[in-house]
Chain A
Amino acid sequence: MVDGKSQSLFKDKPIKVLLAKPGIDGHDRGMFVLAKAFRDAGMDVLYAGLLPTPEEVIDTAVNEDVDVIALSLLNGAHLVVFRKVADLMKKKGIDDIAIVGGGTIPDSDKPKLEKIGITGNYGPGTPLKTIIDHITERAAEARSRKLGIA
């Protein structure tokens, strides 16, 4: 699932992902499933705990030097809340951390999220492999920028 180029990117340090639910939302079953699946796929996984603010999510991501922030919401507030995270990242000039999303996101909202750099946006029932491949792809972009080889 990781191609040759990615393999060398992550040889010394595996993909590091921060899972976060940045809104007022306690639906965390999917997060825990993903945490285990990412770990089984060899990634380094952090969970931001419940109810972090967008500021806290970004602070953790920067301090922990993650490649990807994976946001999840199942309360219908993804457009507002995911955007807050993306805007804050932009404001802080951070471009070497990718953001992906997931949860109950209607198809019609996906282009809006992609426009602000939040990709994936998978719903329940998505195969784990699809998500892992997507994270790997986004992590490769982020890591390349970090290493200045993009």
Chain B
Amino acid sequence: MNDVSSFWSEKLKKLDERDKTGDPAYASWKREVLGKWRKDSQEKEYTNSSSMPIKEIYLPGDLEGDLAGRLGLPGVFPFTRGIYPDMYRGRYWTMRMFSGFGTPEDTNSRLKYLIQHGESGLSIAFDMPTLYGYDCINERAEGEVGKCGVNVSMLKDMEVLFNGIDLGKVSTSMTINAPAIVLLAMYMAVAKKQGVPLDSISGTVQADILKEYIAQKEWIFPPEVHLRMIRDMMVFCTQNAPRWNYISISGYHIREAGASAVQELAFTLADGFHYVEMGKAAGLSVDEFAPRLSFFFNSSINFFEEIAKMRAARRIWATVLREKYGASTERAIMLKFHTQTSGYTLTWQQPLNNIVRTTIEAMAGVLGGTQSLHTNSYDEAWALPSENAVKVALRTQQILAEESGIADTIDPLGGSYYVEWLTDEMERQAYLYFDRIEKAGGILNAIKTGYIQKEIANTSYRRQLRIETGKEIMVGVNRYVEENEPPIKILRISRKAQISQRKRLTEVLASRDQERVRHSLEKLEGAMKDENENLMPYMIDAVESYATLEEISNVGRKLYGGWKEPVIV
């Protein structure tokens, strides 16, 4: 315990020393030159989401110590400038637009539409009942089927979802967490039916349950039960589906829940460290499984802060994986990440302004060196995006890639006094959190006691008060407000999705081999009771018997119950 704790405090000591310095020219410039300039400069508090005070200017002296060493070159430790030697000259980031709504048929056509328009990777959103492990016929699912994503209640739905799409050729990211193991089992079952071997499917399930307890709040069981399922996916995929990324460690939702950039950075990496420790405890070698861990960050509106966050993330991950967890290969220590522009910064008011916000945020993602990017559509503060709005969002990425020139050279902001200072400061403040989390008994405990959630809620409330008092501006919301804006045309999900999903499920329930279902669920229950068993094969067997998502989830619900979150308000 002492050893672990001292890793963070030792690091901090070094970083504190490094960052204490300043430039000797700053004070005299401020007094002699700036001080004699006009006095009526803006009354404004210059700070970012992480509450860092921002100086008028940054100078060489703000970057003491071995700058070249902490930057590295592209593809070289600690990867601050990018994980690949050629970055976007090799190929652009993957333009991965998240989509999913209504029935599997609806989403299947949207996926095919996106493939036709040049999208290079699929990304599926699921509806609320699916995310919480309820079938579409459950009373709780009333009114929610197909609303926030596609509904998948059983294997049949998954078959329709990927109908006509060769799973050996696409890479699919599924945003699914609590029931990730069940959905992955369905995906593998579809691959088998298509004749695609498991070692050639590629994609990701999000499966980052820690951030669910922190931010998105979509769980089924107590944390330990989900963590065991994630362990089983890690082990099974490492052995059988080596191109499958079984966890996408996500800061996105932590940020959307109101966290600052530095909180997003620190809590996400802390979650990541926990999964690394879990993999090691399961007997996997860190060099073998760490390359399959990827990250998912938010890109919000404070341009330089976001870029610094992403650069710092790479540096921290590489350093800690190497120094603390003993990873030795480059692939194991490089932090790969997906970026989504911020939903939080989009406004209901004057929705076309959201195109501009998204462009700025997307640029930050690219300059931050992302591997893939989702750009939000301008109508998303209102509802799921309409087809036209999605097209503008995709075109935004294509303009950035192919017209703007920002991808012509690698890490074009590297060496900027401001960006390098911000990157260092992000790093230092993240280590401060790692140290605090360690002292709070580790990330799992810090989540179970509500410490992390409280930190986020405090930041979120502080920001709201800043907006209320006009210290933080949102155009169209608290400045340049327009009265009587005409409503925009939004996508409405009809109740048809619910009706047709329920119909299909009812038909399958009536026609499947009940004996086989019962048998597969019994075997699954037996495996769940034995910590040492890997659940993955039992899950595949259960979905193939056409047991439903809810039936499978109920096996765990019966054994372990649900989870009540700590009270934080």
Contact = CB atoms under 8 A, between A and B. Distances in A.
B433 interface: no
A7 B289 CA distance: 63
Given A32-B569, A81-B143, A37 B383 contact: no
Nearest to A45: B569
Contacts of B347: 124-125
B257 A28 contact: yes
A6 B160 CA distance: 58
Contacts, number: 96
B257 A125 contact: no
A49 B564 contact: yes
Interface string B336-377: 000000001001110000000000000000000000000000
B143 A80 contact: yes
B256 A47 contact: no
Given A29-B256, A32-B461, A128-B464, A76 B217 contact: no
A3 to B, nearest CB: 22
Interface in B476-525: 477-478, 487, 490, 493
Interface in A83-123: 84, 104, 106-108, 123
A33 interface: yes
Contacts of B349: 125
A23 B132 CA distance: 11
Nearest to B217: A26
B381 interface: yes
Interface in B101-150: 128-129, 131-132, 134, 140-144, 147-148
Given A24-B132, A80-B143, A33 B381 contact: no
Contact of A32 (B258, B381, B383, B490): B258
A124 B132 contact: no
A28 B212 CA distance: 12
A33 B128 contact: no
Contacts of B194: none
B399 interface: no
Contacts of B216: 26
Most interface-central of B142, B344, B347 (chain A CB within 10 A): B142
Most interface-central of B128, B131, B490, B493 (chain A CB within 10 A): B128
Contacts of B344: 29
Interface residues of A, number: 36
Contact of B144 (A24, A53, A107): A24
B8 interface: no
Contacts of B487: 106-108
B140 A24 contact: yes
A1 interface: no
User: What secondary structure prevails in chain B residues at the interface with A?
Assistant: loop
Chain B interface residue bracket vs A: 35 or more
Contacts of A49: 564-565
Interface in A58-87: 75-77, 79-81, 84
Contacts of A2: none
B475 to A, nearest CB: 11
B349 to A, nearest CB: 6
Nearest to A31: B569
Most interface-central of A29, A76, A80, A125 (chain B CB within 10 A): A76
Contacts of B144: 23-24, 75-77, 80-81
A41 interface: no
Most interface-central of A24, A33, A79 (chain B CB within 10 A): A24
Interface string B199-227: 00000000000001000111000000000
Nearest to B140: A24
A29 B460 contact: yes
Given A23-B143, A24-B128, A75-B128, A33 B383 contact: no
Interface of A: 23-26, 28-29, 31-33, 35-37, 39, 45, 47, 49-51, 53, 75-77, 79-81, 84, 104, 106-108, 123-125, 127-129
